[in-house]
Amino acid sequence: MPLLDFQKVERRFPVKRSLADMLARRRQVYLHAVRGVDLTVQRGEILGIVGESGCGKSTLARIGVGLQPSNGGQVIFDGKALDGPDRTGRLQMVFQDPYSSLNPRMTIGAQLEEVVAHYRSGLSRAERQVEVERVLAEVSLVTETALKFPHALSGGQRQRVSIARALCADPQVLVADEPVSALDASVQAQIINLLKSLNREKGLTIVFISHDMNVVRYLCDRVAVMYLGEIVELRDSADLFAAPCHPYTRALIAAVPDVRTSQALREPITGEIPDPFAVLPGCRFAPRCPLAEAACQSPQPMQPLEGGGLARCWKTARVRA
């Protein structure tokens, strides 16, 4: 049984109407951020979710930890339907900007101790401080970090503190929403290796949101590729990067800078992203796909792939060739 299971999850946001729209009684327009997503997260794995900005991956992450409600479908966590944030702290999230997610008026130690006290109220003050020191050491920060305020730390240190704060609740699942996108390359590597060691040594299940294909390739066991609110490909990481099936996945991988490949040999994605308010009858990638045909205007369910995995393309055999 999967630890985290998204079942037909939908999320739409109402678009603010002007006075003229209300007087004319024009119908409410919605932005569909997530469209019928089916996705499972297995216990102990690192699942990557990738896609262009605006594809819905961060919205899906927030729904997965209960920070946002869905408009349809449900999220099952450890066999039970999730109807809000998990009160036991087993689902935790690390955000892209660590500075805005930390309280600038509290020391790091006070913020971590607050989390420990919330989830383990029976501990004494001394025991809570010992726990804070242990968690700081777990993310490779010295004990003195507890005495500092967020502004006194570097970006990488603040992100480590955010991870430490999540670990204070002893979670089963950590959802990391682009946690390294704002960091220098060397610091990125440190955070990625930290997440990998937490997965390996503690068995922590991680959902890793990113648009950096190289990071996802190194870190993740499986990868879900999103486009305009839908999963278009879901496969083991090694298989996906060795032979991507969906045209959008191929384009994402081809866009990754590689000094061994001539710029002329790459196949950039052409065309503009379709209007997110438009309701397309079939494949949402069809307006930009070089392989699009008339049949692509029909609804495109996920197709099972030879060797495992799924892709939302009826021509997967042709694409792979």
pLDDT for position 161: 95
CA dist., res. 10 & res. 7, Å (int): 9
Q: Is the per-residue pLDDT at 102 higher than 50?
A: yes
Three-state secondary-structure class, residue 79? coil
pLDDT-derived band of residue 274, with 50, 70 and 90 as boundaries? low
Give me the sheet containing 303-304, strands edge to edge: 91-94, 173-177, 205-210, 46-50, 222-227, 230-236, 310-311, 303-304
Q: Is the per-residue pLDDT at 22 higher than 90?
A: no
Three-state secondary-structure class, residue 77? strand
Q: Is the per-residue pLDDT at 20 higher than 90?
A: no
> Could you tell me the two tokens for 252?
């994402």
CATH code, domain with 15:
3.40.50.300
Give the pLDDT mean for 202-207: 96
Per the listing, tokens 């490909």 go with 233
pLDDT-derived band of residue 262, with 50, 70 and 90 as boundaries? low
pLDDT for position 321: 47
**Length of the chain as a residue count:** 321
Give the pLDDT mean for 308-319: 79
Give the pLDDT mean for 89-110: 91
Q: Is the per-residue pLDDT at 197 higher than 80?
A: yes
Residue of 278 and 104 predicted with greater confidence: 104
pLDDT for position 254: 85
Q: Is the per-residue pLDDT at 136 higher than 50?
A: yes
CA dist., res. 7 & res. 1, Å (int): 14
Number of structural domains (the chain) is: 1
CA dist., res. 284 & res. 270, Å (int): 14
Asked whether residue 187 is domain-assigned, the answer is no
Q: Which candidate, 224, 181, 172, 178, places its Cα nearest to that of 202?
A: 172
pLDDT, tens digit, 9 for 90 and up, residues 31-90: 888 999 999 999 999 999 999 888 899 999 999 999 999 999 999 999 999 988 999 999
With beta carbons less than 8 A apart as the criterion, state whether 245 and 313 touch.
yes
Strands (E), the chain: 4-14, 30-41, 46-50, 72-77, 80-81, 91-94, 173-177, 205-210, 222-227, 230-236, 303-304, 310-311
Average pLDDT score over the chain: 88
User: CA of 272: how far to CAs of 264, 269, 314, in Å?
Assistant: 21, 9, 23
pLDDT for position 32: 85
Give the pLDDT mean for 300-316: 87
High-pLDDT (> 90) share of the chain, %? 58
Asked whether residue 158 is domain-assigned, the answer is no
> Could you tell me the two tokens for 173?
């699942």
pLDDT for position 271: 65
Asked whether residue 33 is domain-assigned, the answer is yes
Q: Is the per-residue pLDDT at 96 higher than 80?
A: yes
Q: Is the per-residue pLDDT at 182 higher than 90?
A: no
Q: Residue 212 carries which side chain, given as an amino acid letter?
A: D
Asked whether residue 192 is domain-assigned, the answer is no
pLDDT for position 265: 47
pLDDT for position 256: 80
Residue of 200 and 19 predicted with greater confidence: 200
Asked whether residue 157 is domain-assigned, the answer is no
Asked whether residue 133 is domain-assigned, the answer is no
Per the listing, tokens 């996108």 go with 181
Asked whether residue 165 is domain-assigned, the answer is no
Q: Is the per-residue pLDDT at 212 higher than 70?
A: yes
Domain range for 233 is 4-90+219-320
Asked whether residue 169 is domain-assigned, the answer is no
